[in-house]
Amino acid sequence: MNINGKDYRAIWLSADQVTVEIIDQRYLPFDFVVEPLRNVNEMAIAIKDMHLRGAPCIGVAAGFGVYLAALEAQKKEDWQSFLNQAKDLLLSTRPTAINLHWAINRCFSAIEECHSINEVIKITKKTAQNIADEEVATCAQIGQYGLQIIKELAQKGSAPLNILTHCNAGAMATVDHGTATAPIYAAFEQGINLHVWVDETRPRNQGKITAWEMEQNNIPYTIIPDNTGGYLMMKQKVDMVIVGTDRVAANGDVANKIGTYLKALAAHDNNIPFYVALPSSTYDPQLPEGVHSIPIEERSTQEVLFIEGKDQNNQLKSLQLFSNQAKAANYAFDVTPARLITGFITEKGIFKPEELKEKLK
């Protein structure tokens, strides 16, 4: 992604080959901070506390986390137990995004036959880098498939084409290009007249990252409070919805940021196409259905009770929104049933829920 004239990924292996660097998303859009991560513990904290976030990016981070663990294991007497502890630590960071499990399992399968820690280091490094590169290529391909849908809708309707998105399923959530945003970037590059409604996405306000990405790409956008989508859809000010996802069950049920389900209901009621963009790494064929089976992360209620922003002195501040006695709940994700989804935009094509099992295996 182009940031102030320089090409960046959300996460990369630094030139020293033993440090992983990430764009620390806690400071966006105000400050551009690169955080170096030097061991598996730092990586686990970065994932859990959302210095980085978004399912594919979490997967890539987990892959690099295994590599960092391998580097540390070199100095341990029992390197195998150290690696197993590192695996458990990484797996415990965030429960909903299946990419975390997928990437960790891929790294550990790759080292199954290794007899020395040096071999493990070599293979985990290569596997983590491959995962990152593949996710970037996958997202670019999602962009090309999604572009076809946008083109068709743009030909039918009046300009600009209004696309609504929830949370951030952009370059910051996926290493580069994004999933939900890749078709938007591809369409904008082709000169299609479009405008993006960006859901604020309380409580963590990932909409600010989407808005920042739109700015970097000169794409017209408007931030809206989370409750606005239904009204806009009724007034025919939304032509399509595209969201990302953290896990898709075998039957096409979709876990995504809390509030996605309400957008899908409103889109269904107003006959507006509702698309989910995902790489294969987000598909979980082991779960027959998602509504009852996908684990939903519950995060600290502090994220609801306080809000972060900059004050007039340009200082980042956290402000209390409710009384000291206030109780809150903070479910980070919800599950949208497959019946509400028009189609899945993947790197292998555009599919209906019932086609996923066959096409993404």
Whether 88 is catalytic:
no
**Least distance from ligand MRU to the Cβ atom of residue 350, Å:** 17
88's CB contacts (< 8 A; 6+ apart) are none
Nearer to ligand MRU, 111 or 332 (CB): 332
The letter for the amino acid at 138 is: T
**Least distance from ligand MRU to the Cβ atom of residue 256, Å:** 5
Question: Which residues are paired to 276 by β-bridges?
Answer: 243, 344
91's CB contacts (< 8 A; 6+ apart) are 100, 101, 104
Collapse the DSSP code of 299 into the 3-class scheme (helix H, G, I; strand E, B; otherwise coil) and give the result: coil
Contact footprint for ligand MRU (CB under 6 A): 53-56, 97, 167, 169, 173-174, 179, 206, 244-246, 256-257, 332
| Cα distances (angstroms) measured from residue 98 to each of 102, 148, 248 | 6, 28, 8
Written as six digits, the tokens of 225 are 């409070």
- The one catalytic residue among 176, 199, 239, 246: 246
**Least distance from ligand MRU to the Cβ atom of residue 122, Å:** 30
Nearer to ligand MRU, 150 or 254 (CB): 254
**Least distance from ligand MRU to the Cβ atom of residue 140, Å:** 14
CB-nearest residue to ligand MRU: 244
Nearer to ligand MRU, 100 or 128 (CB): 100
Beta strand 194-199 with 221-224 is parallel
Nearest CA to 300 out of 259, 258, 329 is that of: 329
Nearer to ligand MRU, 94 or 106 (CB): 94
Nearer to ligand MRU, 123 or 305 (CB): 305
Written as six digits, the tokens of 159 are 């300009």
How many Å separate Cα 209 from the centre of its chain? 11
Q: How far apart are the first and last CA of the chain?
A: 29
Q: For residues 183 and 179, give the distance between their C-alpha atoms in angstroms, rounded to a whole number.
A: 8
**Least distance from ligand MRU to the Cβ atom of residue 56, Å:** 5
Nearer to ligand MRU, 54 or 183 (CB): 54
Nearest CA to 266 out of 224, 223, 236 is that of: 236
Written as six digits, the tokens of 190 are 């082709």
Q: At CA 272, angle to CA 270 and CA 278, rounded to 5?
A: 135
Nearer to ligand MRU, 111 or 229 (CB): 229
**Least distance from ligand MRU to the Cβ atom of residue 282, Å:** 7
**Least distance from ligand MRU to the Cβ atom of residue 251, Å:** 19
Collapse the DSSP code of 126 into the 3-class scheme (helix H, G, I; strand E, B; otherwise coil) and give the result: helix
Collapse the DSSP code of 72 into the 3-class scheme (helix H, G, I; strand E, B; otherwise coil) and give the result: helix
Report the half-sphere exposure of 177 (CA within 13 A, side-chain side).
25
- List active site positions: 246
